[in-house]
């Protein structure tokens, strides 16, 4: 009888322990709106400008408007949120600011990610990276749904042709630095576009124009970062 009583008491203690653990887990989940799963997010607009630099390498400047789909008006990312996947050979990845400081945009090959405290749910960010001149193409892939993809290809230094149907928009840019524009909408997570490169010769004027364009884009990113500062 005494053995049976001890056994019943042990089973009751085990039951109450499991109930307590479930209660603690419920409180933790309630206090952590991101939970343990991936953070829900959408890329409202992804815009890229592709040029060639003085060394003949390809330079990509990318800006992105990301919506964090949580109830918080100022989300806190406890873990990096992967945004896009860069192709093999991409390097010299640098954040350019926006609504976040450059250090919040990180690169652990092949993923570009966003981390830390965000000022609001819709966040503008920018970054740049290099592709070697031997790269045969530009490959674009995102980890989330992309509502609008815009790719601007510099007409003076290169030609890049998409591998599948994508809307050719009106050419843009200044007369001295025009670019071809391609647009795609409502892309599912993981959807991939490839632009095959046909390289043109880069002369001195084009090299100077690339330098000016890169400087202007960096200046614009700095202005975004300054405007996003509290106060």
The three-point CA angle 144-229-50 to 5° equals: 45
- pLDDT tens string 81-96: 999 999 999 999 999 9
Task: Dig out the tokens for 156 from the structure.
Answer: 């003076």
Q: Quick one: average pLDDT of 6-19? A: 58
Kindly report whether the global pTM for this prediction surpasses the value 0.75: no
- pLDDT tens string 48-84: 999 999 899 999 999 999 999 988 999 999 999 999 9
- Closest by Cα among 114, 59, 115, 48 to 91: 59
Instruction: Give the model's pLDDT for residue 25.
Output: 46
For 13, half-sphere exposure in the C-beta direction (CA atoms, 13 angstrom radius) is 6
The dihedral of CA 212, 213, 214, 220: what is its sign?
Answer: positive
Q: What is the CATH number of domain 41-228?
A: 2.60.40.1730
- Closest by Cα among 144, 145, 142, 128 to 210: 128
For the cut 90, the answer to whether the pLDDT of residue 191 exceeds it is yes
Instruction: Give the model's pLDDT for residue 193.
Output: 92
For the cut 90, the answer to whether the pLDDT of residue 9 exceeds it is no
Domain boundaries, the chain: 1-31, 41-228
CA distance 15 to 12: 5
- Closest by Cα among 175, 193, 173 to 184: 193
| The pairing of beta strand 41-52 with beta strand 146-154 | parallel
């Amino acid at each position: 009888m005494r053995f049976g009583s001890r056994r019943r008491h042990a089973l009751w203690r085990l039951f109450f322990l499991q109930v307590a653990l479930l209660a603690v887990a419920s409180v933790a989940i309630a206090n952590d709106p991101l939970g343990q799963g991936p953070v829900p997010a959408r890329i409202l607009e992804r815009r890229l400008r592709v040029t060639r630099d003085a060394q003949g390498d390809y330079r990509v400047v990318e800006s992105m408007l990301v919506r964090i789909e949580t109830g918080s008006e100022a989300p806190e990312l406890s873990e990096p949120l992967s945004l896009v996947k860069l192709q093999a050979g991409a390097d010299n990845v640098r954040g350019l600011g926006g609504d976040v400081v450059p250090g919040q945009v990180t690169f652990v090959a092949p993923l570009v990610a966003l981390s830390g405290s965000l000022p609001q749910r819709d966040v503008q960010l920018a970054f740049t990276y290099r592709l070697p001149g031997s790269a045969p193409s530009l490959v674009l892939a995102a980890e989330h749904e992309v509502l609008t993809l815009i790719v601007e290809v510099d007409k003076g230094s290169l030609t890049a042709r998409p591998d599948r149907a994508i809307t050719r928009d009106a050419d843009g840019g200044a007369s001295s630095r025009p670019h071809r524009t391609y647009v795609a909408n409502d892309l599912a997570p993981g959807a991939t576009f490839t632009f095959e490169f046909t390289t043109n010769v880069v002369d001195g004027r084009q090299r100077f124009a690339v330098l000016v364009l890169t400087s202007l884009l960096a200046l614009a990113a700095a202005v975004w970062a300054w405007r996003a500062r509290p106060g």
